[in-house]
Amino acid sequence: MNKRKGTVFLVDDDADTRASLEEALEEVGFIVLPARHGKEAIARMKGCLPPAIAIVDLVMPDMDGWTLIQRMKSDRDLEKIPVIVLSGKVLRSKVEGAARVFEKPFQLDEVLRTVESLCVL
């Protein structure tokens, strides 16, 4: 087993994508805290130590990704957490507050490399 590298918050309403990403992140040494939507993510983040990084889908029920990122950026405990966005929509503009945006379907290796590089910072 790899040495634990940090905690990743994974917020995506698609259970299958979430499960595969969770397994992949765990296999490279991260602890993963999954959430199905923004509201659940905020509740979970408040109840534990801030994660090293958050991976956030945009279109979700019960608080979408844009609102979640906005909430995180206006919260002193969460504002510094880097956010990676996974988007099912083709985006033609920047997502405010996101360190990196991946369009779905994404290259898994590239997402994992980005998570690792952002966690080192």
Instruction: Enumerate binding residues for other proteins (CB under 8 A).
Output: 14, 16-17, 20-21, 23-24, 27, 86, 88-90, 92-93, 104-109
CB of 110 to other proteins, least distance (A): 10
CB of 54 to other proteins, least distance (A): 18
CB of 76 to other proteins, least distance (A): 33
8 A C-beta contact, residue 7 and residue 19: no
Q: Which is nearer to other proteins, 2 or 93 (CB)?
A: 93
Largest Cα–Cα distance of the chain, in whole Å? 40
CB of 19 to other proteins, least distance (A): 8
* R_g (Cα) of the chain, nearest Å: 13
E strands, the chain, where? 6-11, 30-35, 53-57, 83-87, 100-103
Q: Measuring CA to CA, how many Å separate 119 from each of 30, 79, 92?
A: 10, 15, 27
Backbone angles phi, psi at 56, to 5 degrees: -130, 125
